[in-house]
Every structure is written in structure tokens, then in C-alpha cells.
Amino acid sequence: MVAERLEFGCCGLKEKVMTKYLFGMYWSISLRNGFGFDIESVDSKAVWAVDGDEVFASAFNGIVVLLPILIITVGNLVEVEQ
């Protein structure tokens, strides 16, 4: 079971990420090197999740909005079945 209120980043652990848990979903803003516009609906995007000192791979289910310099993600983490 994925723990609640985790911090996650879509592109790496050293990246600056701001994550908040609101309305039952994770809202995340992170930086990117790009200038295009894009909106994606994802159901299995790989992300790193941090729970205290534990770092593990997880999947993200939600919406990803790519703006110039910013990535905005809204959704939830789901368990990865092996």
C-alpha cells in the first residue's frame, strides 16, 4: 500500500519539487528545461517517492501539464505490481 502524503518527483531525486496533498490528490510543481505546451493523461508514469528516509519507485496516475519552465502534476500514486 502506498503511504499517504508522500513527496515525489517525476524527473529525478535531486530536482527541486514542491508537492502538496489537497482534495485527495497530490499536486506537484517542478522545473524543466523546455518552452512548449502539453497536457497528458497518464496512468503509469514512473516516479520516485520519498517516505521519510525511504526512497522507492512508484507509478503516477493523473494529469501532467507541461508549461514553459514548469511541470504541474495532479493525481495519485499507485502500487506497482511485480
Instruction: Name the residue with cell 510543481.
Output: 29
Structure confidence by residue, pLDDT tens digits, 57-66: 888 899 999 9
Contact status, residue 16 vs residue 39, Cβ threshold 8 Å: no
User: Is residue 51, in this structure, part of any structural domain at all?
Assistant: yes
> Does 74 map to a domain?
yes
CA 55/CA 30 separation, integer angstroms: 18
pLDDT tens digits, residue range 25-43?
989 898 888 889 999 999 8
Per the structure, how many domains does the chain have? Answer: 1
18 within some domain:
yes
Determine, yes or no, domain membership for 2.
no
1: in domain: no
Structural domain that includes position 53: 7-78
8 A C-beta contact, residue 9 and residue 30 = yes
- pLDDT over threshold 90, residue 74: yes
